[in-house]
Chains A and B, each alone.
Chain A
């Protein structure tokens, strides 16, 4: 029993210490953002590697998720003779939930893990230390541009995911299953609300972009500088990001759509 309590205390202490380090790291990162804006080239390079290089996985996944939604939605709605509302169902699912959540999970797997590995290896090969000794702040030069790039890319990628998904749903719904194309689009237009659906979805994706980039960069920066340490940190990024995204999604959904 004593051992159990000791272990519990130790683990709690370790977790809180890490949370403290992570919070301090976030403050430093945020304070470096102004200097990134003064050097947009640093940001552009990262927007390319964090955002543009995630296009393919987001596009293909979005297309298939939309197509599956089209199929499943059609089977359920046609039982009630409501297949005309397929567009609403597909779009609402994507814009409110699947767009922000699935693209954030994919982003954590594709870009988040890459960021952790990159920063962890820079630490292991003393590149960050080297920068410090050259009087260059690695937070401002390396971390902040990547953080801002993640924050800006996430809502755009989520929007792309939803847009491609809606097209995928339409391809299956109208193309294969014979739902009227006009009804697909017009029902969607008249039933989806800009503020309640689209803006809320965008807010979610900004929050997910924020936490995923934070987790990925912190795990890399805090990694034990060995091959095993970097590998563990990369795994932690994906796992912790997934938990955080799904947990936050529940909270945000409850806050945003609770009144309806």
Chain B
């Protein structure tokens, strides 16, 4: 396993976390650190619980054991009002964008401002236009979510996520299903927002190239465990078979191509069964 020491100056710290869905163990005693001002990526095959991890960090799910510390607060010990106060400082970009479909682009970006501040409409307008300008979609303010392409929806959701000037943003599969131009735009946006606004970014993704290009530190997850961690360079040179299979996209390896099943020949020869 490639190993540089995990970052020390953490904004988010996940310690000895375990979580199951039904009988399936999603995380088995994992610990991760997310350094302030940096872009940290969590990578791994589909179904490894990357999105679940973001929901655990955001306090939407409760772990079986372990703690999640965000800016000194134990997320799962906070009272509801305190958790909501913390969430105002945590932006999250959902895979689907999660825009409110009954509002246009402007109102979507203005939504958190209207809900949490008592700013006059003129100031909200200025702020919304600034956020939309940052993602290059100031001209699309009157469109409804169903009139946006997937890439545009994600950029609008990003504008909404930074509306309250959060300390961190969690990106859930930001590049999935995007055309190369949108991917490029998002890569640039994530990096520039991180640098200009001094954000801490957590990216959950299985898009190797894009993520490795902007991440400062990468964790590779598989089957509930951390199978590799380090800078993108260290991950690239990792001797771990898991990491190599994932980074190179090999169809078979430690993560098997076949779903577990009984012997193929026995299965074909057993008659009298419907399945």
Contact = CB atoms under 8 A, between A and B. Distances in A.
Contacts of B60: 129, 132-133
B62 interface: no
Interface string B144-166: 00000000000001001000100
A126 B111 CA distance: 16
Interface string A152-188: 0000000000000000000000000000000000000
A121 to B, nearest CB: 8
Contacts of B55: 129
A197 B105 CA distance: 50
A130 interface: yes
B252 interface: no
Nearest to B172: A126
Interface string A120-139: 00100111011111111100
A136 B112 contact: yes
Interface in B138-186: 157, 160, 164
A127 B85 contact: no
B92 A130 contact: yes
A141 interface: yes
B101 A127 contact: yes
B94 A126 contact: yes
25 contacts: A122-B101, A125-B96, A125-B98, A125-B101, A126-B94, A126-B95, A126-B98, A127-B98, A127-B100, A129-B94, A130-B94, A132-B58, A132-B87, A133-B87, A133-B90, A134-B87, A134-B111, A135-B87, A135-B112, A135-B115, A136-B111, A136-B112, A136-B115, A136-B116, A137-B84
Contacts of A137: 84
A38 to B, nearest CB: 13
B88 interface: yes
Interface in B212-244: none
A225 to B, nearest CB: 11
Given A125-B96, A126-B94, A127-B98, A133 B115 contact: no
A119 B85 CA distance: 25
Given A125-B98, A127-B98, A135 B111 contact: no
Interface residues of B, number: 23
B106 to A, nearest CB: 16
Nearest to A118: B102
A189 to B, nearest CB: 46
A122 B100 CA distance: 8
Nearest to A124: B96
A130 B88 CA distance: 12
Contacts of A127: 98-101
B98 A135 contact: no
Interface in B61-105: 84-85, 87-88, 90, 92, 94-96, 98-101
Contact of B84 (A125, A130, A135, A141): A135
Contacts of B112: 134-136
Contacts of B84: 135, 137
A141 B96 contact: no
